[in-house]
Structures are given as C-alpha cells and as structure tokens.
Chains A and B, each alone.
Chain A
C-alpha cells in the first residue's frame, strides 16, 4: 500500500494557461475524490468517481474544470483558462467499498499558484 500519489506537488502558471493534475489512488480503491483547499479552510468537495463513472460534481466545478478517470485507475483534473481564484491546494482521495465505513485516504495534494 503505497498511498495516494499526486503529481506535480507544485504548479506555478500564468493566468489564462491550462493546467492538468494527476492522481494515482491506492491500488484497487474503486472510489476517487477531488477536493480543493484554500488557506485556512477545510477541503471542499469538487467531484467523485466510482470506477470510471463520474457520479457527482460540485457547484464549485465550473465549466473550466474537467476531471476524468478513463480506466478506473488514475484520474486527471484539468483547469482551463486559469484565474487568480483557482490558486489553492488540490487534494485527491480514494476509498474502497471493502473497507468498513470506506474512509477516504488523502494524497499530499498539488499546490497551484496563479501568477
């Protein structure tokens, strides 16, 4: 069990550019979640997948955001035409239906800074 892995750990980009983050969940975890965390706040839910199906999207996930999990394993989160307000830590978590209570295990996040 190597834990949830997120890449890159840090991303600095200019406003208007597109960025893509990757999340590798714990092996065989069928649920995968994306959250966003701004400074001094708790994580806020963005979206979640069960296998390759995206089952829920938050209102926070504007049209500029898209997430995929094409083979039910790793996931990508893309932000198009980045804005200053997108600066945040993007966290990925995974869980397994085989675990009691299916607790979510988080990665260390990708910190996005928009110049």
Chain B
C-alpha cells in the first residue's frame, strides 16, 4: 500500500524567511496531494493541493511542487509569519478511480521565530 514520508519533523525559521517541507510517496498510482495545517486542539485545515498532472501550484505565500518521476512533492511558504506556526501534514490519495482515502505523512512542526 501507499506510504508517505515527510521531512523534517521540526523546522524553525526566522520571521520573514522561507520554509520548505518535503514528502515522498511510494505508490505511483497516487494522483492527488493535499497539504493540511493543524493548530493545537483543532482539526487539519486544507491549505493547498495539487493534482498529478500539474507540476506547481501557488496561492499567495504558499506553493506546492510535484515531481512525479521522483515521487516527491514539497510545500514552500515564503515570508513566514508567526501565525504560520503549526503542524503541517502532507497526504497522498487516488481520486476518481481510487478509494479517496488519504495517507498522511508524520507531520512537520513549524516554528516561526519573531
């Protein structure tokens, strides 16, 4: 079955710097890759997603890149702010013909230092 690895497990950056979180997946049939932000005591919140037929997607300060050949995808946050501090999860899924279940990575705790 699908397996998703996520690195690093913790990441500290200065406010205004960029942060990059990387994930790899094992099943080449996975075709949808969402990223979630989870704050303490809350459920995961979708922040950006990408389909396998797209190499990059950007939404303001957040971008995601996908390398299908290498089976890895990354989250990029630019101009980080203290409110970006949270745990971030990547996930992989097969949609349209799959079961739609998400296989999550183990999370990255991002700390933005003011």
Contacts and interface: CB of A to CB of B under 8 A. Distances in A.
B23 to A, nearest CB: 10
A102 B100 contact: yes
B88 to A, nearest CB: 10
Contacts of B99: 48, 55-56
Contact of A41 (B46, B49, B106): B106
A39 B95 CA distance: 28
A103 interface: yes
Interface string B82-105: 000000010100010001111111
A31 B100 contact: yes
B46 A42 contact: no
Contact of A104 (B4, B6, B102, B105): B102
A45 B103 CA distance: 7
B21 to A, nearest CB: 13
A6 B42 CA distance: 11
A89 to B, nearest CB: 8
Q: Which of A6, A35, A41, A45 has the most CB of B within 10 A?
A: A45
B89 A43 contact: yes
A101 B51 contact: yes
Contact of A33 (B6, B101, B105): B101
A101 B106 contact: no
Contacts of B103: 45
Given A48-B100, A103-B49, 14 more contacts: A33-B102, A40-B107, A42-B4, A42-B105, A48-B101, A55-B99, A91-B44, A95-B100, A101-B49, A101-B51, A102-B95, A103-B46, A104-B46, A106-B44
28 contacts: A4-B43, A31-B100, A33-B102, A35-B102, A41-B106, A41-B107, A42-B6, A42-B105, A42-B106, A42-B107, A43-B102, A43-B104, A45-B101, A48-B99, A48-B100, A56-B99, A56-B101, A58-B101, A95-B100, A101-B32, A101-B34, A101-B51, A103-B46, A104-B34, A105-B46, A106-B43, A108-B41, A108-B42
Interface of B: 4, 6, 32, 34, 36, 41-46, 49, 51, 89, 91, 95, 99-107
